[in-house]
Chain A
Amino acid sequence: MTVKLVLRGKEYELKPGMTLRQSLFKIDLQPEAVLATRDGELITEDEILQDGEVIKLVAVISGG
């Protein structure tokens, strides 16, 4: 029973049933700093993540 979040090749496994926003905080990521996609489509922070899903995260911060 896991949801997988993937950011820059790094995988995070979480329990299903939480919202995307809650899941991001759980792995210490700021919701403002990433976008999340499910099957290539962007999803909003209130989406409940289901068992077996793979959510691809896109980092949005750039600078230098």
Chain B
Amino acid sequence: MKCRKCGEKAVINMRQHKLALCKTHFLDWIPGQTQRFIEKYRMFGPQERVLVAVSGGKDSLSLWDILWRLGYQADGLYIGLGIDGGLNYSSESQRLTQIFAEQRDLKLHIVNVLENYGETIPEMAQRTTRGKGKPCSVCGLTKRHIMNRIAREGAYDVLVTGHNLDDEAAVLFGNTLNWIPGYLVRQGPVLEANRPGLVRKAKPLCRIYEREMAAYALMRGIEYIYDECPYAEGSKSIYYKELLNKLEADRPGAKLSFYLSFLQAKKNGLFAQAADPDIELLHTCPTCGQPTSAPGECAFCRMTVKIVE
């Protein structure tokens, strides 16, 4: 197979775009596409300060690399979750993230959950009903809280995450299977900061396939944590991704079409804002100042045991 742009040997074929590219043209194409989506969905401008949530995985490190190559003012935020799982999962992902930042002379914020809140994620999960069985819900809540906090404290204009198209399609699939209107209303490339205490969020990779992001990381020589989070095994999102990939094998472009059709349907008014029961009822947490769906302390503040310095 030959590169469509130069005729050299292709290293990747993107069946959904009917596009095969060589290494050089693929490494140009990905930042070009990312820039296109940043502009199309009005995510942020060249003068704005961007905070990239980085996990040490292929997507977030690649996103940071792309934004750096595109010339954006992008700092990183790594959250140390204290997950070991016999792999030193958190310490290894932090090490790789720090190496990445040092190589490019980029600013990296590190927030260690244990040092800040007195417990690791698995410990919090063991103590609380929210974490019964699996710590993923506790982990998600904690990461959302810390990302928003650091973005506010640092006066960043936007917080970006490395969610790729497969992530978005899997979430959409789950929310559609269960018809969860609140989540469907909120899903999109940009989540506006439409309440006090909230920071604008964006997903610049939302239209790029996970396979292409892995290829980008490999071709750029980005060393990322290859092992999966030990708690992700058997997760619904991975199961949904596998199902969608079976569909994609028979119908190239099915995942992209599913997501884009959803965005179009939303734009056409298929999902009313009133379908999101939380949107009008947000309160401000008296402890942390972040929005919460019920009066009083938010779920994160109620969950955490803070260390008094």
Contacts and interface: CB of A to CB of B under 8 A. Distances in A.
Main secondary structure of the interface of B (DSSP, over half): helix
B59 interface: yes
A43 B237 contact: no
A44 B1 contact: yes
Interface string A16-46: 0000000000000011111101000111111
Contacts of A42: 11-12, 23, 215, 218-219
Contacts of B12: 42, 44
7 contacts: A30-B246, A31-B249, A32-B245, A43-B11, A61-B245, A63-B235, A64-B229
B249 A61 contact: no
Given A42-B12, A42-B215, A62 B246 contact: no
Interface residues of B, number: 37
Contact of B13 (A34, A46, A59, A62): A46
Nearest to A47: B1
The 9 A-B residue pairs whose C-beta atoms are closest, nearest first, are A64-B232, A63-B237, A60-B214, A32-B245, A42-B11, A30-B245, A44-B1, A63-B238, A44-B13
Contacts, number: 77
B237 A64 contact: yes
B269 to A, nearest CB: 31
Contact of A64 (B59, B219, B228, B248): B228
Interface string A48-62: 000000000011111
B246 A58 contact: no
Contacts of A58: 214, 218, 226
A45 B248 CA distance: 15
